[in-house]
Amino acid sequence: MRPPLRIGVVGCGQVSRVGHGPAIAADPRAVIAACCDPDDDNRSSFAKRFGVPRACRRLDEMLDAEPLDAVVIATPPMLHAEMVGVCAERVGAILCEKPLAVTLEECDRIIAARDRHDVLLHVGHSKRFETGFAKIRRWLQAGLIGPVHQIDIAWHYYMPDLHAGFVGWALDRLQRWGVDLRKKYGTWRLEDPTSGGGDLYDHGPHYFDLLRFLLADVESICCQARKLVDGRAYEDMSVSLLTLTDGTVVQFAKSCHAVGRPSGHEIGQIYGRTGRIWFEAVQEYQRRPMRLRVYRRRNLFADAWTHIRLPQGRRHTLYFRQMRHFIDRLTGVDTLPSFWEPPWSATAEDARLALAWLRAAYHSAEHGVVVRRADLPSLGYTGSLGD
């Protein structure tokens, strides 16, 4: 048997602790050979939890110390372009978290580094690996609910002002006791002006990519965005209206102000001529399958949804399936069932196009205009639009 792949993890925060780290540890074909993070707490806790033999503060230190077959880059997006460039020179495969970068120019640098060094580069648009979305894609391809004309998605995490009032006082007290919930829940995404954007920027790329993957390319976007907490650098609520090339209208609402459970809720409906699909994507760190049900014309008599049971167990959840696919590509052995034709993973070009539409959403919100496909080159996008 070949020795396990040696994978390095760059960035030991929340997504690595509960997503990538457990997924690598669960696959006997790979080991976490090294990790790096400038935050002492993140680095030491990650190394201890996963038995990582080499924990470094800096990326170059990790690459100099350990021969690696692949790296997972799970740092904030403003660091991705530089880190992908460095890793592409030294390592043969990279899984980089989304958003791929802050600007389209940085995406171009990443693509150039990939091509120059001929490395495998996957981008962490992990919703492509959710079994529920795999089933939805097959249904839509088979015409289960007829031609689709409308999609509604509401994805909200309740995150009020975490520095004011009783909440701020309580979190300050916990931080003095060594429990930093602000860091745990990643408030830098809303407060760091170098992050590239706010709540929409962090989560919008998932669905801007997924819509193309499930149904059709984006034709136009109109967005309204607001910043309701003054101390935040960017928007904390938004509503985007997208039209796809097949005429489907999509409403995508994203907010930190919908009062509810801390893990949030992510609910959508897909409307077709002869039925509709309802889904709730459970917060990915909980390692549970989506909730999925269908209502078709034959359901009218009982006025009841048909509930769909999806595969259970953490090995069927998106981070585990994404990592299995990444390792499959490295080993040349396919272990995942063929829910749809490969390749599953988003390419850097897919991620760049998702970022282009994200930037178009911000342009729309700022200037009060509809941005269409023909407008993207004037906003800096020059790649393929999926024609």
Q: Which two tokens stand for residue 228?
A: 């309701």
Give yes or no for residue 222 having a pLDDT over 90: yes
Is residue 339 assigned to a domain?
Answer: no
> Can you give the CATH number for the domain in which 198 is found?
3.30.360.10
Q: Are residues 114 and 10 in the same domain?
A: yes
**Which residue, 140, 159, 150, 130, is CA-closest to 280?**
130
When pLDDT is averaged across residues 267-277 and rounded to a whole number, the result is 98
Looking at 256-378, which runs of residues are DSSP E strands?
Answer: 265-272, 275-280, 291-296, 306-308, 371-372
Is residue 287 assigned to a domain?
Answer: no
Residue-range definition of the domain harbouring residue 255:
147-272+347-379
Q: Are residues 217 and 354 in the same domain?
A: yes
CA-CA-CA-CA torsion sign (30, 284, 207, 335)? positive
When pLDDT is averaged across residues 155-182 and rounded to a whole number, the result is 85
Which of 109, 124, 139 is the C-terminal boundary of a domain?
124
Q: Are residues 29 and 96 in the same domain?
A: yes
**β-pair type (93-97, 70-73):** parallel
**Which residue, 345, 342, 346, 355, is CA-closest to 382?**
355
pLDDT at 339: 54
Is residue 162 assigned to a domain?
Answer: yes
Categorize the per-residue pLDDT at 169 as very low, low, confident or very high, splitting at 50, 70 and 90.
confident
Q: Are residues 46 and 173 in the same domain?
A: no
State pTM to two decimals: 0.92
CA–CA dist 324, 223 (Å, integer): 36
Give yes or no for residue 341 having a pLDDT over 80: no
When pLDDT is averaged across residues 80-88 and rounded to a whole number, the result is 97
Q: What is the mean pLDDT of the chain?
A: 92
pLDDT at 386: 60
Q: Are residues 258 and 373 in the same domain?
A: yes
Is residue 302 assigned to a domain?
Answer: no
**Amino acid occupying residue 268:** G
Helix (H) or strand (E) run with residue 340 in it: none
Is residue 312 assigned to a domain?
Answer: no
Is residue 117 assigned to a domain?
Answer: yes
Give yes or no for residue 363 having a pLDDT over 60: yes
CA–CA dist 16, 321 (Å, integer): 15
**Amino acid occupying residue 192:** D
Among the ranges given (21-30, 111-120, 226-235, 362-371), the one the predictor scored with the smallest mean pLDDT = 226-235
For 79, phi then psi, to 5°, come to -100, -10
- Tell me the percentage of the chain whose pLDDT exceeds 90: 75
| Cross-sheet strand order for the sheet of 291-296 | 306-308, 291-296, 275-280, 265-272, 148-156, 249-255, 237-244, 218-226, 371-372
Among the ranges given (25-29, 172-176, 238-242), the one the predictor scored with the smallest mean pLDDT = 172-176
Task: Please answer whether residues 199 and 237 qualify as being in contact, where contact means their C-beta atoms are separated by less than 8 angstroms.
Answer: yes
When pLDDT is averaged across residues 78-107 and rounded to a whole number, the result is 96
Torsion angle (degrees, nearest 10) of CA 106, 229, 262, 224: -60
Identify the residue with better confidence: 197 or 278: 278
Categorize the per-residue pLDDT at 145 as very low, low, confident or very high, splitting at 50, 70 and 90.
very high
Q: Which two tokens stand for residue 385?
A: 């639009």
When pLDDT is averaged across residues 120-136 and rounded to a whole number, the result is 94
Is residue 335 assigned to a domain?
Answer: no
Looking at 145-207, which runs of residues are DSSP E strands?
Answer: 148-156
pLDDT at 219: 97
Q: Are residues 157 and 233 in the same domain?
A: yes
Give yes or no for residue 301 having a pLDDT over 60: yes
pLDDT in tens, 170-181: 888 888 888 887
When pLDDT is averaged across residues 274-285 and rounded to a whole number, the result is 89
Return the number of other C-beta atoms located less than 10 Å from residue 28's C-beta.
9
Task: Please answer whether residues 366 and 107 qualify as being in contact, where contact means their C-beta atoms are separated by less than 8 angstroms.
Answer: no
When pLDDT is averaged across residues 108-117 and rounded to a whole number, the result is 97
Categorize the per-residue pLDDT at 286 as very low, low, confident or very high, splitting at 50, 70 and 90.
low
Task: Please answer whether residues 209 and 359 qualify as being in contact, where contact means their C-beta atoms are separated by less than 8 angstroms.
Answer: no
**Amino acid occupying residue 315:** R
Which of 124, 156, 186 is the C-terminal boundary of a domain?
124
> Can you give the CATH number for the domain in which 109 is found?
3.40.50.720
Q: Are residues 55 and 166 in the same domain?
A: no
Which of 61, 93, 124 is the C-terminal boundary of a domain?
124
Q: Are residues 263 and 370 in the same domain?
A: yes
Inter-axis angle of helices 199-214 and 348-367, to 10 degrees?
120
The tally of domains found in the chain comes to 2
Return the number of other C-beta atoms located less than 10 Å from residue 273's C-beta.
11
Among the ranges given (32-41, 104-113, 310-319), the one the predictor scored with the smallest mean pLDDT = 310-319
DSSP count for the chain of H helices, then E strands: 13, 15
Is residue 288 assigned to a domain?
Answer: no
Categorize the per-residue pLDDT at 288 as very low, low, confident or very high, splitting at 50, 70 and 90.
confident
CA angle (37, 38, 40) in 5-degree steps: 90
Q: Rounded to a whole number, what is the distance in angstroms from the first to the last CA of the chain? A: 44
Question: Which SS3 state, helix, strand or coil, does residue 156 take?
Answer: strand
Q: Which two tokens stand for residue 210?
A: 């997924």
